Structure 1
Amino acid sequence: MDTAGKVFTRQELELIARLAQQHGAYVLSDEVYEHLTFPGGLPHVSIRGLPGMRDRTIRLGSAGKTFSLTAWKVGWMEGPERLLGPCVKAHQFLVFTVPSSLQRAVAGALDGADGQAFYHGLGAECARQRALLAPRLAAIGFDILPAEGTYFLVADVAKFLRDGEDDVGFAKRLTAEAGVTVIPVSAFYADASRAPRSLVRFCFCKQDSKLQEGCRRLEEYFGGAGNGAAAAAGAEAAAGLAP
């Protein structure tokens, strides 16, 4: 789940499924990160595969996440025809045109992916990159929140906030003064009054050289790896990556 990096357990999904069936509700299941769970952690479970849910669930997928093609903005829906039909009718009035050539390319990628080996490698690569970034951020002093998937890392920066500064101000300052850009988590809240004001999101689906350079800039800006190996070990444990 973006932004928290949470993977729902089967028991949690079964509860949602029971409630949906009990109240005659339909489920729109955003599963764009289905292949980006960390090895050794919780596996992805599709709620559409649970008993009684196939005919009341629309499942969403994304080429941007699965094939690292975020700029293409191509995705897909899976579900029963009686649910997809109205969605298609609504969709035609929401967009002016579609990139048909990119849609063909994504269809080819889905047909040509090397079985499960390709998909299993995605989560492993995300875990490796998180293991590269999290300890160095923790050593600087960032409080790293645990995550079970995706390629985002959320950190609490309360100790770094200046008087009157919130997550948005911190993100702007870090961009201008350190040359590293983060996303303020409050931006994801519709109700600003309920949003946390000290959480920011890092993205680590980058080349190792860029991650290393970003860490170097942060270490230089904040005065080095102040909390040392203990903080790094804590970050690995929080990320579920400790040996």
Structure 2
Amino acid sequence: MGLTQNRISARVGSIAESATLKVDAKAKALQAKGRPVISFAAGEPDFPTPDYVVEAAAAAAREPRNHRYTPAAGLPDLREAIAAKTLRDSGLEVPASRVVVTNGGKQAVYQAFATLLDPGDEVLVPTPYWTTYPEAIRLAGGVPVEVFADSEQDYLVTVEQLEAARTPRTKVLLFVSPSNPTGAVFSPEQTAAIGTWAEENGLWVISDEIYQNLTYDGVRAVSIVEAVPALADRTILVNGVAKTYAMTGWRVGWMVGPADVIAAAGNLQSHLSSNVANVSQRAAIAALNGPQSTVDDMRAAFDRRRSTIVSELNKIDGIVTPTPKGAFYVYPDVRGLFERDIDGVRPTTSLEVAELLLEKAEVAAVPGEAFGPSGYLRFSYALGDDALLEGVQRLQRLLA
């Protein structure tokens, strides 16, 4: 008899399924059975991809050159367009050689951690966090260190909190503004303070800027490398077309960073996935270089929905919803619902609250346990105006 071996590696077996995708899948399964579920779970715009982008992809599909392998790091024209976008929106001038095009922003996040981390390296993770960050850190051998900011501080961590969590093992600071799941945006002053602290302590920064073009009330999400230019040699920016251009299914993201890091990430990608689908890359070129009026239209719709969902949720006793300044999420504090009788049930966690809302009101939201401590729910307002209002009104009736 040989030694008994695990069928699944400990590394992969230890990671959890994406909670946001799991809740969205459950909602869609109920809808398929005829249940009138309204889902606030999915983090994707409900708009179609702009017509000019689709037309560029259709034309690209007819070109034989797009039927072949291309450079693993991305099409030269797309890398140039990303470099121009990075200068335009992040204030960082880089050559196209310092860009790697990835299969969505999620691959960029994974590769950024995989490229920087050795076993035992710690990453400071402002919390609430997007559910994938800790898993990507662990897969790279790193240790996520949660630094929690609650609703009373608008979910924005401070330099003092980060310093208290820093140890000799700390290598990387994760910086996300606007945030998924909270929609919080750091002010230019806060960004500069955190960036200066990171630079003074010799930390690397991985900055996820996927929502940087979705901000409201005249707020601008200032890039950490624009706020602190000295950080540019120790920062990886990750981004993509998914959220800004309603292109979640096209799978185009990217990494921008120092030459040695980008070369290493490109080597990794050459073995992992090779090039992103060329038709999607051609579509991304059209998105970045084309007219931006559709982006403005989508942002205006999100802004309208943001106002509706914040005002309507805040009418419910026991729910406190800070007004987000970016992305398309609200992150209400629902601890006021704990131990309250809700149709005969007294929930004690936000997971139980989310299950109650789905069962009793047929409304799907993602519980705070997916993003850090219990006590919160994430609602995406990237769904139609009518469905959004109906969904919140169901909650008002249930929780009256």
Listed one character per residue, the Cα deviations across residues 18-64 of structure 1 (whole Å, up to 9, x for unaligned) are 23333333321111110111123x31111122322333322111211
Is the 2:205–2:236 Cα contact (8 Å) retained in structure 1? yes
Query: As a proportion of its length, which structure holds more helix?
Result: 1
| Counterpart Cα distance in 1 of 2:347 and 2:365 | 19
Is the 1:61–1:76 Cα contact (8 Å) retained in structure 2? yes
Listed one character per residue, the Cα deviations across residues 53-107 of structure 1 (whole Å, up to 9, x for unaligned) are 3333221112111112223332112233322111222234444874332222112
Partner residue in 2 for 1:38? 216
Is the 2:217–2:325 Cα contact (8 Å) retained in structure 1? no
Is the 2:310–2:322 Cα contact (8 Å) retained in structure 1? no
Is the 1:64–1:70 Cα contact (8 Å) retained in structure 2? yes
Q: How does 1:1-243 map to 2 (within 5 A)?
A: 1-40=179-218, 42-49=219-226, 50-95=228-273, 98-114=276-292, 117-141=293-317, 142-161=319-338, 162-163=345-346, 165-189=348-372, 195=373, 197-223=374-400
Q: Alpha-carbon deviation of 1:122?
A: 4.7
Q: 1:164 to 1:210 in 2, by over 3 A?
A: closer
Amino acid at match of 2:242: G
| Counterpart Cα distance in 1 of 2:381 and 2:244 | 15
Is the 1:183–1:200 Cα contact (8 Å) retained in structure 2? yes
TM-score by length of 2: 0.49
Amino acid at match of 1:137: L
Is the 1:39–1:123 Cα contact (8 Å) retained in structure 2? no
TM-score by length of 1: 0.77
Corresponding residue SS for 2:364:
coil
Q: Alpha-carbon deviation of 1:174?
A: 1.1
Is the 2:337–2:347 Cα contact (8 Å) retained in structure 1? no
Is the 1:167–1:199 Cα contact (8 Å) retained in structure 2? yes
Q: 1:220 to 1:105 in 2, by over 3 A?
A: same
| Counterpart Cα distance in 1 of 2:188 and 2:379 | 28
Matched length = 214
Q: 1:15 to 1:140 in 2, by over 3 A?
A: closer
| Counterpart Cα distance in 2 of 1:34 and 1:25 | 22
| Counterpart Cα distance in 1 of 2:236 and 2:356 | 41
Q: Alpha-carbon deviation of 1:199?
A: 0.7
Structure 2 unmatched runs, 5+? 1-178, 339-344
| Counterpart Cα distance in 1 of 2:277 and 2:390 | 35
Which segment is superposed worse, 89-98 or 27-36?
A: 89-98
Corresponding residue SS for 2:363:
coil
| Counterpart Cα distance in 1 of 2:326 and 2:350 | 23
Which segment is superposed worse, 88-97 or 52-61?
A: 88-97
| Counterpart Cα distance in 2 of 1:51 and 1:96 | 32
Q: Alpha-carbon deviation of 1:180?
A: 0.5
| Counterpart Cα distance in 2 of 1:19 and 1:91 | 32
- Tell me the C-alpha RMSD between the 2 structures: 2.3
